[in-house]
Amino acid sequence: MSGAAKPRQRAAELRREINHHNYRYYVLDDPVISDAQYDKLLRELQELETKHPDLITPDSPTQRVGAAPSDEFGEVRHSIPMTSMDNAFSDEEVGDWDQRVRKSLEVDGEVAYTAEPKFDGTSISLRYENGLLVQVGTRGDGETGEDVTVNVRTIRTVPLHLEGKDWPDVLEVRGEVVIPKKAFERLNAEQLKQGDKIFANPRNAAAGSLRQLDPRITAARPLSFFPWGLGQTSKTVARRYSELLRLLNDWGFRTTEFFRVAKGVDECLNYYREILAKRDKLPFEIDGVVYKVDDLRARDQLGYTARAPRWAIAHKLPAQEETTVVEDIMASVGRTGVITPVAVLRPVQVGGVTVTHATLHNQDEVERKDVRVGDSVIVRRAGDVIPEVVGVIKDKPRGARKWHMPKKCPVCDSEVIREAEEAAHRCMGGLVCSAQRMGAILHFASRHAMDIEGLGDKLVQQLVDKGMVKTVADIYRLKKDELADLERMAEKSAQNLLDQIEKSKTTTLARFLHALGIPQVGEATAQLLADQFGSIDEIMDAKPETLETIHGIGPAMAEDISHFFHEKHNRGVIRDLLKAGIHWPKPTRVKKSSALTGKTFVITGGLSTMTRDEAKRRLQELGAKVVGSVSKKTDYVIVGEEPGSKADKARELGVTMLGEMEFLKLIAK
C-alpha cells in the first residue's frame, strides 16, 4: 500500500467508526466506548485532516463545526411541496375527520392510524444522495425554503452519512428541529449572562439557531432532529409509515419514543389523553398530537386539499393559562404602523415559558374586557401564539386606571388614526417613524417597489442600527466608504449596491407610490392613482372626496391616503426623494373596456387551473377589483376547493357565487 493510501484508508475507517459511535450515543442512547476513547478517535481524525486537507469529506464528523460565516442563505426549491396540516380542536372534529377518511377509502371498520407528538419546533427537509447529506432546506413558503445545510450539519442527531443499508439513492427526510425544555432554560440563562436577548419559547430558539450566519453559533445550541415523513425518494421504501420510522431509525435517525400505531379513532383519542396527562413531564415542548393514516398507498388515494393532506390531522392541545397582574399598558408600534396595546405583566411562567408581555389586540378589546392597569388577569399561551390577556378575574382594585389609545404616535409624534370600519389604529408617520423604519426601508427597496437589489434584511439592520438610514431618503445619501466599512461588505459590494440605488432612480409613478408604504395602497391602487392623476403633486394635494371618485378607492382608503400625504414629515421625505433624482415618465392613462371593469371579486378556496395570485392578476387586467372580504358591495365570489367562511358569508348576503369552471368561462368572454 502506498504512503498516500494509508492516511486515506485510516481517515475513512475513523469516519465510519466515529459516525457509528455518534449513532449509538445520540440515537440509540447506548454508547459502547467512553467519552475519552471517543475524543481520542476524533483527535486522530482531526490531526489527519490537518496534515492532509484533501482527505476532508462532507460526511466527516469534523465538519459538524468550523465552516466560515456566510453572508446570506441560498434558496432550496422543494421538488415535493412541504404542506401545512389541518387542525382539530375537539374530539368531535377528530371524529369528523375519521369519518371522512373512512368514507373516502370506502372502509366500514376501523382505519389503522399512527399517533405521535406534534413537536413545537421548526420544519426542515434533508436531502441524501447515495447516503450522503448534500442539502438541507427550511419549509419556507412550502415551495421554496432557505438553504441551511451548513448549520444543520452541526446537529448531532442528523446523520451526515446514513447508517445501515438498502436506503434509496435519493432520499429526502423531513422532520422537526427542536430544543429540549431543560436545554432551552440553560440557553436562556446563558443569553442573560452574556447580556443577549432571551428567546420567547423553544420554537423561536430552534428557528433562530438555524438562521445563524455563523454555524459555530448553531453548533453551540442544543438542537435535536425528529423525522416525521419523506419528500422525494428514488424508490419506494415502505408500505406503512410505522415501517418507515423503523427504517429511519436503522438509517441513523432518532425517532420519538412516544410514537404509536392506533387502531381507529378511539385509540387515537386515548393516546391524546395520555399525552395531555404527560404534557408537563415531556422532555420537549409540544402543541398537540398528529394522527396519520398508516398505509402509505391509502394516503395516495386520499390525496390533498389546496393546502393540507387529507390523510393527517393535528389534534391541538388546550391552551395553557396562568394568573398575574397588569403592571402597565403600552402602545406598541409595529413595522406597518399598526398600534397594538400590550399589557406589561408581572412575570409569570405559562407552559414552561416566562411571560412578561401579552397582547390586548386593539382598543375595542381593551374596552370589551375592561382591562385596566393594576388588574389581576388570566394570561393564555397556546403553542407559539403570542400570549394574550383573556379576561379579568376579580373586581377592580383601588387605583386601577383605564387606558386609551394615544392620539399621537409614542415613537415619532405623528398623527394616529383609526381605520374606518376597522379596529386598528395606525401611525401615519410611515416614512419617518423609527418603529416602522426597518419595514419601511425593506418595503421601499423590494422588487415590486423601487427594486434595489442587495438591500436585504441584514444590511438594512446594520444601516438602521448605525444611524446611517433614518428615512428612505437617506438611502440615496449613502457613501461608498461608509458602506465598505460595514460588516461583510467591501469596496466591490458597496459599489454594486450604489449602482443599484442609482438605477432605482428611474422608475414609474405607480412603483414610487407603492414604495412609499401608504396604508391600504398596494400595487393595484398605486396604479389607479398614477393613471388618474399622473402627478405626485396632484395626488399629495387630493382631498378625500376627490380620491373617492376613483373606482376602487372607498372612504376608508381615501382617508388613509389623504392623512398620509398631509403628514408634514412624510411630505418632507418625499421632497428629499425627488431632490435625490427619482424620476419617471408621465404615466399613460389606461382605459379599461372589459365588461368586468368596476366589478368587485373575492376568491376563496384553492383553484386547480391557476394560483389565486394568477386569478387576481387576470381579473385586475380586465379592470376588476379583488378584495379580501365579502360585503354587500361584492359582485362575485369565486369558490374553489375547500372554501372558507367567505363562501358562507356570500350565501348569507346573496352574493353571486362562481365555481372555477364558471369563473374561467366568465374571463374567457
Which residues are identified as catalytic? 118
Contact 126, 136 (CB under 8 A): yes
- Residue whose C-alpha is closest to residue 459's, from 431, 505, 512, 498: 498
User: How far is Cα 581 from Cα 242, in angstroms, rounded to an integer?
Assistant: 64
Contact 49, 56 (CB under 8 A): yes
Place of cell 406589561: 344
Which regions of 255-310 does DSSP assign to beta strands (E)?
A: 260-263, 286-293
Residue type at 212 in one-letter notation? Q
Angle ∠(507,510,513) on CA atoms, nearest 5:
95
Contact 15, 45 (CB under 8 A): yes
Name the helix (H) or strand (E) containing 463: helix 457-465
CA 505 to chain centre: 32
User: How far is Cα 291 from Cα 177, in angstroms, rounded to an integer?
Assistant: 19
Q: What is the DSSP letter of 110?
A: P
Place of cell 402627478: 535
CA atoms within 13 A on the CB side of 651: 7
CA 283 to chain centre: 25
Contact 518, 443 (CB under 8 A): no
In this structure, what C-alpha cell is assigned to residue 518? 401608504
Place of cell 414629515: 569
Give the three-state DSSP class for 177: strand
Helix, strand, coil in percent for the chain, rounding step 5: 40, 20, 40
β-strand pairing of 425-427 with 286-293: unpaired
Residue type at 152 in one-letter notation? V
